């Protein structure tokens, strides 16, 4: 039987059930990973850090979650090449743990934004390995701090290294060079601000999120 | 106590001389002492006791077989069949939101969520009904900004999507805005519905959630007073919310309930620990022994009276068996929360409050709950002042379509709902952009939610407005194929001691009650907010509602806009009330009357025909022209002409209660015609959907102009809000 997909839960995570629903919709088996616990990396086929407001976004988005015990195991999984996906707050957490480059700061509008956006694939990664050539996705965003920033020179290197995963068609939050999602150098750890788990069925308004979760299909 | 001292005491505790005499009677002839003053002040406040409205709220005492819990519990619950149940309720947070908009609105959301998960239901949807003053009124831009940020800040963080809303503007709200929040929760399979009556002598009283501070002390009695010039000084009575804490409380409370560890539970809302403990004891017919010094405090200097009245947020009181305490505490600790034992359930009837082992109060809780005063405030039977035998518009100037679209009444509310997470939870089928919200139930069916009450109609006539608060949302649901099931209300009115206000209250409540009986949609929960007035006058009487409906499938819900060029555009009407609103959306006179029984029959026909329509839209404010303009897309407009459906008043801006626009292929007309014969309603062909502009008779407006007016109107009125 296929190994389960580990879904991390911190105090305040609130897209955990949505991701569970999405993983099940792909015919995969989800399993919770509680923030206080470490886990055996080899028991899982991949990991997802869902969105939400871990620790109420206190201190700085993702900063407190980054210090939780479960992240030690996740770091091992990342180093060992397992697929790791961060969504929204999950993206922020992965940046805070330095598993991904850059940082996410307050939207240019200084307001939370909920809307559908168009994304363009810049470089394929482990998480688009089975997307059957999908280069444009329509997914919803819902964040107050999703503006991707880093040093200009570093960002240029990120593009050169093919670590920029998705860019926005119509930049909603002021992200530098329209960056919506990035990957680590090995391309196994990836994250994006939009929510693929909210675009899994026609009735949700789009099924494009499947292009991402399909990466876990054997 | 001499007369001056008594007067000062009564003023401090906001009790009347009559009420003081009643209290003395209940206490066997003696004066209240110590904390008793504070207890009577809080629980006999309008906010907690409903003393001016209880007599009339009994008119809602009607149930359908679906009702599992109605008034009297934290929220009403209805059975959807297939093992699914929903709890929902709407509540006002008007006064705090005017004083401190961010926290006022945020804690309004927090409070209504607690009412829902207290019942064992997982919150899955939020909605808000907002009434603001004119954009040019003092502080109004900041109030709009603060309220929207507050709702967003709380709802987004706690992870419950805001799926629909209604926002109104009128000068009567300039000094007293309305902020009503609705929450809806789901109970599935064999998950328990948990109620509040305390039971079982020897069971423990357990406090969970955030620590207690001074915030919100006397909040309940503050909310029961009119606003004066000193409203700024009331800021310390506004509570501070913490949505992160609430999220932990949701998860931990649902877990202890689903594990069967809880006998009873209630949130600490208005009047905090006092109302929760006294109501739980009174309902259960038991006594409680509570050690106030065991209440976890944020600040050790907080004394017993403040502990009793604090409205610190994110706190719950629960009763559990001693043997299950450890398991309860384990769950709360898992979620990073504390659970402190305050005391125990004792043989009734008295509640004993202790402070460092001294009994500071021993009193029968029923004196404060069941024996609270109930007033039959003066009112007059309703007479429709603005009703005329025929409408005439004279020299009234009417707005053009573009002016309507750009007006503060007509412009897009996108600036508001962009700030709300509408999709967290993965259930949203229709969001704030639509005329109704729909969420997917685990069974695959769709639950619809629509808010009601149109203040302009209320200003026209409180009785018609009361009917409309139920019929309008019911028609919205039916037009999308949802069967309306039940509703909740939030009755926002002025000073009930004024007969003119009380007359509007009674007229609206009676009309709403009649409509709900006719529709078989019982009012299962709600709240009354009186004293919404300032020195400049009363707010528009505003009985806001939230109605839920059920649809067997999530697929095939008609759109709310044009879908295909060449489709026929039909107007389907059941004649009733009609009127014309002016530039500011105001109505001077109306004609005709509503027939609730006929409406209910027609609504059933509308629901039955709706699957055959590609799009439907209930005609609302500004009449048919605005409705058709709202159905236009970037590419699709329509060509429509006046027919014998039009009367002497301007055809495209006369409003009719009720009419609905249906769009579909050429087979739709026959289906509607057949339904008309069964329901004494009428259908006309208005025209066709076309690629290109919107043409009403000879007047053509290009789509770009319409969309532009609709989308940019907001920023013209709210230039200060980026």
pLDDT in tens, B58-102: 999 788 899 998 877 889 999 999 999 999 999 999 999 999 999
The answer, yes or no, to whether residue B40 has pLDDT greater than 70, is yes
Residue A195 near chain B (CB below 8 Å): yes
Shortest Cα–Cα distance, B722 to chain A (Å): 7
Burial B158-184 (b: 16+ CB within 10 A, else e): bbbbbbbbbbbbbebbbbbbbbbbbbb
Q: Answer yes or no: do B242 and A197 touch at CB < 8 A.
A: no
| Mutation choice for A interface testing from B110, B250, B417, B426 by most A CBs within 10 A | B426
Q: Answer yes or no: do A18 and B426 touch at CB < 8 A.
A: yes
Q: Answer yes or no: do A110 and B417 touch at CB < 8 A.
A: no
Model pLDDT, residue B232: 52
Per-residue pLDDT tens over the stretch B358-411: 999 999 999 999 999 999 999 999 999 999 999 887 777 788 999 999 999 999
Cβ-nearest to A56 among B157, B417, B419: B157
Nearest CA in chain B to A172: B418
Q: Nearest-CA neighbor of B430 among B127, B87, B89?
A: B127
Model pLDDT, residue B348: 82
Shortest Cα–Cα distance, B314 to chain A (Å): 14
Range of the domain at A150: 5-217
- C-alpha B16/C-alpha B339 separation (Å) is 38
Cβ-nearest to B426 among A55, A56, A198: A198
Per-residue pLDDT tens over the stretch B499-522: 999 999 999 999 999 999 999 999
Residue A109 near chain B (CB below 8 Å): yes
Cβ-nearest to B554 among A12, A115, A203: A203
The answer, yes or no, to whether residue B562 has pLDDT greater than 70, is yes
Shortest Cα–Cα distance, A17 to chain B (Å): 7
Chain B residue numbers with beta carbons less than 8 Å from the beta carbon of A204 are 423, 426, 428-429
Residue B460's Cα: distance from chain center in Å? 21
- Residue B223's pLDDT band, with cuts at 50, 70 and 90, is low
- Beta carbons of B44 and B375 less than 8 angstroms apart: no
Q: Answer yes or no: do A12 and B425 touch at CB < 8 A.
A: no
Residue A144 near chain B (CB below 8 Å): yes
- C-alpha B246/C-alpha B261 separation (Å) is 20
Q: Nearest-CA neighbor of A91 among A69, A64, A62, A120?
A: A62
Per-residue pLDDT tens over the stretch B467-497: 999 999 999 999 999 999 999 999 999 999 9
- C-alpha B209/C-alpha B244 separation (Å) is 11
Residue A114 near chain B (CB below 8 Å): yes
State whether ipTM is beyond 0.90. yes
Q: Which of B93, B95, B371, B656 is catalytic?
A: B93
User: Catalytic residue at B47?
Assistant: yes
Residue A115 near chain B (CB below 8 Å): yes
Residue A209 near chain B (CB below 8 Å): no
Segment B321-341 shows an average pLDDT of: 96
- Residue B217's pLDDT band, with cuts at 50, 70 and 90, is confident
- C-alpha B43/C-alpha B27 separation (Å) is 16
Main-chain phi, psi angles of B17, to 5 degrees:
-60, -40
Chain B residue numbers with beta carbons less than 8 Å from the beta carbon of A113 are 418-419
Q: Which residues lie closer than 8 Å to B5 by C-beta, 6 or more apart?
A: none
Shortest Cα–Cα distance, A176 to chain B (Å): 21
- Residue B191's pLDDT band, with cuts at 50, 70 and 90, is very high
- C-alpha B413/C-alpha B418 separation (Å) is 9
- C-alpha B95/C-alpha B47 separation (Å) is 12
- Residue B224's pLDDT band, with cuts at 50, 70 and 90, is low
Q: Answer yes or no: do B555 and A14 touch at CB < 8 A.
A: no
- C-alpha B640/C-alpha B564 separation (Å) is 15
Name the residue with tokens 């109420």.
A56
Tell me whether strands B287-291 and B351-355 are parallel, antiparallel or unpaired.
parallel
Chain A residue numbers with beta carbons less than 8 Å from the beta carbon of B447 are none
Residue A22 near chain B (CB below 8 Å): yes
The enclosing domain of A38 has a CATH number of 3.40.50.880
Q: Answer yes or no: do A14 and B247 touch at CB < 8 A.
A: yes
- The total domain count for chain A is 1
Per-residue pLDDT tens over the stretch B647-677: 888 899 999 999 999 999 999 999 999 999 9
Q: Nearest-CA neighbor of B37 among B368, B381, B496, B500?
A: B368
Taking all residues of chain B, what is their mean pLDDT, rounded to a whole number? 93
Residue A106 near chain B (CB below 8 Å): no
- Residue B234's pLDDT band, with cuts at 50, 70 and 90, is low
pLDDT in tens, chain A (218 residues): 789 999 999 999 999 999 999 999 999 999 999 999 999 999 999 999 999 999 999 989 999 999 999 999 999 999 999 999 999 999 999 999 999 999 999 999 999 999 999 999 999 999 998 887 889 999 999 999 999 999 999 999 999 999 999 999 999 999 999 999 999 999 999 999 999 999 999 999 999 999 999 999 97
How many CB atoms within 10 Å of residue B371? Answer: 18
Chain B residues bordering chain A (beta-carbon distance below 8 Å): 149, 152, 156-159, 242-245, 247-248, 335-336, 417-426, 428-429, 440, 554-555, 722
Helical pair B499-519 and B462-479, crossing angle rounded to 10 deg: 30
Phi-psi region of B599 (alpha: psi -120 to 50; beta: other; left: phi over 0): alpha
Chain A residue numbers with beta carbons less than 8 Å from the beta carbon of B156 are 53, 112, 142, 144
Shortest Cα–Cα distance, A120 to chain B (Å): 22
Per-residue pLDDT tens over the stretch B619-642: 999 999 999 999 999 999 999 999
Q: Which of A15, A88, A95, A190 is catalytic?
A: A88
User: Catalytic residue at A197?
Assistant: yes
Burial class, B44, CB count within 10 angstroms (exposed 0-12 / middle 13-18 / buried 19+)? buried
Nearest CA in chain B to A139: B423
Model pLDDT, residue A132: 79
The answer, yes or no, to whether residue B231 has pLDDT greater than 70, is no
What is the distance between the terminal CA atoms of chain A, rounded to a whole angstrom? 11
Cβ-nearest to B244 among A58, A114, A200: A58
Residue B675's Cα: distance from chain center in Å? 33
| Mutation choice for B interface testing from A13, A22, A111 by most B CBs within 10 A | A111
| Mutation choice for B interface testing from A52, A110, A112, A200 by most B CBs within 10 A | A112
Residue A110 near chain B (CB below 8 Å): yes
Cβ-nearest to B426 among A11, A21, A57: A21
Cβ-nearest to A203 among B157, B418, B429: B429
Nearest CA in chain B to A115: B418
What is the distance between the terminal CA atoms of chain B, rounded to a whole angstrom? 58
| Mutation choice for A interface testing from B159, B241, B248, B425 by most A CBs within 10 A | B159
Chain B residue numbers with beta carbons less than 8 Å from the beta carbon of A35 are none
Shortest Cα–Cα distance, B418 to chain A (Å): 5
Tell me whether strands B694-696 and B636-640 are parallel, antiparallel or unpaired.
parallel
Residue A44 near chain B (CB below 8 Å): no
Chain A residue numbers with beta carbons less than 8 Å from the beta carbon of B428 are 204
Nearest CA in chain B to A56: B244
Q: Answer yes or no: do A114 and B422 touch at CB < 8 A.
A: yes
Q: Nearest-CA neighbor of B717 among B175, B94, B174, B140?
A: B140
Residue A12 near chain B (CB below 8 Å): yes
Q: Answer yes or no: do B244 and A12 touch at CB < 8 A.
A: yes
Cβ pairs A/B, distance under 8 A:
84
Chain A residue numbers with beta carbons less than 8 Å from the beta carbon of B247 are 11-12, 14, 53, 56
- Beta carbons of B532 and B178 less than 8 angstroms apart: yes
């Amino acid at each position: 039987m296929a190994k389960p997909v580990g879904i991390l839960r911190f105090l305040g995570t609130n897209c955990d059930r949505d991701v569970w629903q999405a993983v099940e919709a792909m015919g995969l088996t989800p399993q919770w990973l509680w923030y206080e616990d470490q886990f055996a990396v080899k028991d899982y086929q991949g990991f997802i850090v869902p969105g939400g407001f871990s620790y109420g976004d206190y201190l700085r988005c993702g900063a407190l979650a980054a210090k939780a015990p479960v992240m030690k195991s996740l770091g091992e999984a990342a180093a060992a090449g397992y697929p790791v996906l961060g969504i929204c707050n999950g993206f922020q957490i992965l940046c805070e743990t330095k598993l991904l480059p850059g940082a996410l700061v307050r939207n240019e509008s200084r307001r939370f934004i909920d809307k559908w956006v168009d994304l363009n694939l810049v470089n394929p990664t482990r998480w688009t390995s089975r997307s059957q050539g999908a280069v444009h996705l329509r997914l919803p965003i819902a964040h107050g701090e999703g503006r991707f920033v880093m040093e200009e020179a570093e960002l240029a290197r990120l593009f050169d290294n093919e670590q920029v995963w998705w860019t926005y068609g119509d930049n909603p939050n002021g992200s530098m060079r329209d960056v919506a999602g990035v990957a680590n150098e090995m391309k196994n750890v990836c994250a994006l601000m939009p929510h693929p788990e909210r675009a899994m069925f026609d009735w949700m308004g789009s099924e494009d999120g499947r292009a991402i979760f399909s990466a876990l299909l054997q | 106590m001499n007369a001056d001292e008594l007067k000062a005491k009564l003023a401090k505790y906001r009790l009347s001389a009559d009420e003081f005499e009643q209290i003395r009677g209940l206490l066997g002839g003696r004066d209240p002492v110590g904390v008793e003053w504070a207890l009577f002040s809080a629980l006999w406040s309008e906010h907690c006791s409903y003393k001016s409205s209880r007599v009339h709220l009994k008119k809602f005492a009607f149930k359908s077989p679906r009702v599992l819990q109605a008034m009297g519990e934290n929220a009403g619950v209805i059975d959807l069949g297939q093992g699914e149940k929903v709890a929902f309720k709407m509540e006002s947070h008007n006064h705090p939101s005017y004083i401190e908009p961010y926290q006022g609105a945020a804690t309004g959301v927090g409070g209504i969520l607690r009412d829902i998960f207290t019942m064992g239901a997982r919150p899955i949807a939020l909605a808000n009904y907002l009434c603001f003053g004119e954009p040019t009124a003092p502080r109004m831009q900041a109030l709009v900004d603060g309220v929207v940020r507050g709702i967003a800040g709380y709802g987004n963080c706690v992870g419950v999507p805001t799926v629909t809303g209604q926002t109104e503007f009128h000068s009567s709200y300039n000094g007293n805005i309305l902020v009503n929040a609705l929450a809806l929760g789901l109970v599935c399979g064999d998950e328990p519905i948990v109620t509040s009556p305390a039971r079982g002598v020897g069971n423990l009283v357990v406090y969970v959630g955030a620590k207690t501070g001074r915030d919100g002390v006397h909040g309940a009695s503050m909310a029961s007073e009119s606003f004066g010039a000193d409203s700024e000084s009331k800021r310390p009575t506004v509570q501070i919310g913490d949505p992160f804490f609430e999220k932990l409380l949701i998860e931990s409370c649902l877990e202890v309930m689903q594990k069967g560890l809880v006998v009873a539970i209630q949130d600490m809302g208005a009047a905090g620990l006092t109302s929760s403990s006294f109501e739980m004891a009174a309902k259960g017919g038991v006594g409680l022994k509570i050690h106030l010094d065991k209440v976890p405090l944020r600040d050790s200097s907080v004394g017993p009276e403040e502990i009793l009245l604090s409205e610190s947020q994110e706190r719950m009181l629960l009763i559990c068996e001693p043997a299950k305490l450890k398991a309860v505490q384990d769950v709360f600790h898992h979620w990073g929360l504390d659970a402190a034992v305050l005391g125990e359930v004792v043989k009734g009837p008295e509640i004993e409050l202790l402070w460092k082992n001294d009994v500071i109060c021993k009193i029968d809780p029923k004196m404060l709950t069941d024996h609270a005063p109930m007033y039959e405030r003066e009112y007059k039977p309703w007479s429709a002042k603005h009703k005329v035998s025929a409408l005439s518009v004279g020299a009234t100037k009417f707005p053009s379509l573009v002016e309507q679209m750009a007006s503060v009444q007509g412009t897009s509310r996108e600036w508001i709902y962009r700030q709300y997470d509408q999709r967290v939870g993965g259930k949203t089928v229709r969001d704030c952009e639509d005329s109704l919200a729909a969420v997917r139930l685990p069974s695959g069916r769709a639950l619809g939610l629509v808010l009601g009450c149109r203040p302009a109609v209320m200003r026209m006539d409180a009785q018609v407005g009361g009917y409309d608060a139920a019929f309008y949302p019911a028609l919205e649901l039916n037009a999308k194929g949802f069967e309306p099931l039940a509703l909740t209300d939030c009755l926002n009115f002025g000073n009930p001691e004024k007969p003119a206000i009380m007359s509007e209250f009674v007229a609206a409540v009676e009309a709403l009650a009649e409509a709900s009986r006719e529709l078989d949609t019982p009012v299962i929960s709600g709240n009354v907010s009186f004293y919404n007035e300032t020195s400049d006058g009363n707010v528009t009487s505003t009985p806001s509602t939230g109605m839920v409906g059920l649809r067997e499938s999530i697929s095939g819900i008609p759109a709310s806009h044009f879908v295909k060029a060449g489709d026929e555009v039909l107007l389907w009407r059941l004649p009733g009330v009609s009127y014309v609103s002016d530039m500011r959306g105001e109505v001077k006179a109306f004609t005709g009357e509503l027939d609730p029984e006929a409406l209910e029959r027609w609504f059933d026909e509308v629901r039955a025909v709706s699957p055959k329509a590609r799009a439907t839209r209930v005609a609302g404010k500004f009449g048919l022209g605005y409705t058709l303009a709202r159905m236009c897309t970037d590419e699709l407009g329509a060509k429509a002409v006046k027919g014998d459906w039009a009367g002497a008043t301007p055809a495209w801006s006369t409003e009719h209660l009720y009419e609905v626009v249906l769009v579909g292929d050429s087979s739709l007309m026959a289906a509607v015609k057949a339904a008309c014969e069964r329901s004494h309603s009428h259908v006309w062909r208005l025209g066709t959907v076309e690629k290109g502009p919107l043409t009403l008779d000879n007047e053509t407006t290009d789509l770009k102009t319409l969309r532009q007016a609709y989308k940019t109107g907001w920023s013209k009125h709210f230039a200060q809000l980026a």
